[in-house]
A and B are shown apart, each in its own frame.
Chain A
Amino acid sequence: MTMKTRYPFKSIATLLCCLLMFSAHAAERQQPKLGYNLTAISKPIPAPGFTLEDMDAKKFSLKDYRGKVVLLNFWATWCPPCRREMPSIERLYQHFKDKNFIVLALNQMEDGDQVFTYTAELEVAPTFPILFDKDSDVSRAYSVLGLPTTYLIDKKGNIRFRAIGGREFDHPEVEKQILQLIQE
């Protein structure tokens, strides 16, 4: 992308003011409640493979998790529902991490600094791998149209469930579906 002159804000104060006003506006509104329904994929399809790096440049390949149930979460730090559902994903991970279950959170088009700053703000920092889908190539392979979008992949590497929009992932109903996939 050609880098051009950044938009000349009159002052940082104006920008902060706008962000605060919007935050207040959004906070005053009733945010959609996070549900727990996952959509079953009627004809399970093979999950597209990928290899991505985490913050420490460690490589992670989806194929390495064959034999485990994978929760694949597409997210970004600026996306409010992504932020809201993240703690429930961590709780879910803590619940199942020793039972052939892994979470791979694919950050979209951000860098390590942005993600590090965000995770530092959380009461409980995510302990599952956060990978960088810098050009959103993987999200395109999964036909992700908006954030957050989450897929549940079974032990054979097939996509079995999908959720568009934020969810409460440690809801007993979701845990039940994951447990069923683990026990297959």
Chain B
Amino acid sequence: MPTKIINRRLLVIICLCLLQTRVQAAEVTVQKNSASGLLTWTSKDDGFSIELIQLLPDFVRAVYDKHGLPADEVERIAGYCDFGTIIQNTSQQQLSYRVSDWRYIDKNGKAYPVKTKAQWLEEWRKAGITFAWTLLPGSGDFGVGDWQQGFTTIKIDRNEKFDLVYTWTLDGKKHQGKIENMSCAPASLPTSQTTQ
């Protein structure tokens, strides 16, 4: 087969692959809480919005302690970089997402999968924990107006910045968004802020 035809076919395949995942030019806003200094990232993409709110480790400890998790498991999840997450279908069509497709990228450009709810539940099950809520569901098929919230957990050094790449499927087409330069909540708030 002539090289020209092969190259043309290759070009068509590459174009098709690029069309499969539409990279969005998302509108990302970062909001700083005036009292706590904690940050919230909001990204509004085509038909999908995501909001990630920094969570203090002590808040995460309080949540899971209240739900009766053993101290070592409470400490383990509080050791992650945790975010309260709200995702919404803002389109007028069916939308789906899978957290297992999401990635976070460290300062060296290395991408890691975001830990899913199913992975947490499997670990909790082995530890004898039956509690199964509060984490962001690992997947969802959203109708018009559907939305969901829960915790997202990132395994990264608390002081390290990272980018989050998330995907969703709308009307059969896969979309991708990115929030750059994210950071974890501090290990604790300065004393002056916690006593105010």
Residues of A near any B CB (own CB < 8 A): 1-9, 14-15, 17-19, 21-22, 24-26, 28-29, 32, 35-39, 76, 78-81, 108-109, 135-136, 145-147, 162-167
Contacts and interface: CB of A to CB of B under 8 A. Distances in A.
A6 B71 contact: yes
Contacts, number: 135
A5 B71 contact: yes
A25 B193 CA distance: 13
Given A3-B70, A29-B31, 16 more contacts: A15-B58, A18-B59, A21-B189, A22-B55, A25-B33, A25-B36, A25-B40, A25-B53, A35-B145, A39-B143, A78-B63, A109-B133, A146-B137, A147-B133, A165-B146, A167-B145
B58 A25 contact: no
B131 interface: yes
B160 interface: no
B145 A2 contact: no
A44 B146 CA distance: 19
B108 interface: no
Contact of A18 (B62, B68, B84, B145): B62
Contacts of B132: 109, 136
Interface stretch (B11-19, B147-155, B162-170, B176-184): B147-155
7 contacts: A1-B131, A21-B38, A22-B36, A25-B53, A108-B133, A136-B130, A145-B138
Interface in B46-85: 51, 53, 55-56, 58-59, 61-63, 65-68, 70-72, 74-75, 84
A4 B69 CA distance: 8
A57 B70 CA distance: 29
Nearest to B140: A145
A163 B146 CA distance: 6
Interface residues of B, number: 53
Nearest to A108: B133
A146 B140 contact: yes
Nearest to B138: A145
Contacts of A164: 140, 142-143, 146-148
B108 to A, nearest CB: 31
Contact of A15 (B62, B137, B138, B149): B62
Which among B36, B128, B137, B146 has the greatest number of chain A C-beta atoms within 10 A?
A: B146
Nearest to B35: A24
